[in-house]
Amino acid sequence: MLLQHGKLAPTDFKNLVRRFYVLQAERVEAYKLFEEGHEAYLRTGPHYDFEHYKQLVHEITKAFCGISKEVLQIKEKLHQDFDRPDLSEHIDKLQIKEKEKLELTAKLQLAKQNAQDHPQDEDFQEKVRELKQDIIKNTAALSEILQDFKYDSEEPE
């Protein structure tokens, strides 16, 4: 971090915010791979290729952990180095919603497999619809938090 008269340079702040957005984009990409991998896994039914899917889950989990770890470091820097508790609070809320989204996604994947294995059972179909709605609500909440973060990070200090 460059110091200007004993204080962090505005470019450092901008770089930190930019890095945060890159990490969010990586998260979106990881979800896409997770979804595509699960769809491929479902196509292997009824004798599922669980080993392949388990490896995917492992890789995705590793990716999410790495992203989360770095996002939390950014949160710390925003709070400590830049005295922006407002932004670190947005990140806190975001992390909670991201954790929720991952849990919902895992539940949805299980529900989709159950629905595929029991096409005649309407309860499984209903569960898939409910979880999809929950994910839509979660995604809307995430977007709102990101909007707040964007607005607050762009306002002049």
pLDDT 10s digits, 135-155: 999 999 999 999 999 999 997
* Residue 46, preceding peptide bond in cis (omega within 30° of 0): yes
Q: Which pTM value belongs to this model?
A: 0.88
What per-residue confidence (pLDDT) applies to 90? 98
**For residues 5 and 64, what is the distance between their CA atoms, to the nearest angstrom?**
37
Q: What is the pLDDT of residue 11?
A: 85
Overall CATH class of domain 8-154: mainly alpha
Could you tell me the pLDDT band of residue 134, with boundaries at 50, 70 and 90? very high
What residues have CB less than 8 Å from 15, skipping those under 6 apart?
A: none
Q: Which helix (H) or strand (E) holds 2?
A: none
Domain ranges, ordered by start, for the chain: 8-154
Residue 6 has pLDDT above 60, yes or no: no
pLDDT at 157: 52
Q: Is the pLDDT of residue 5 over 80?
A: no
Please classify residue 34 by burial: count the beta carbons closer than 10 Å to its beta carbon, then call 0-12 exposed, 13-18 middle and 19+ buried.
buried
Q: pLDDT value at position 95?
A: 97
- Amino acid type, 13: F
- Taking the C-alpha atoms of residue 44 and residue 36, their distance in angstroms, rounded to an integer, is 13
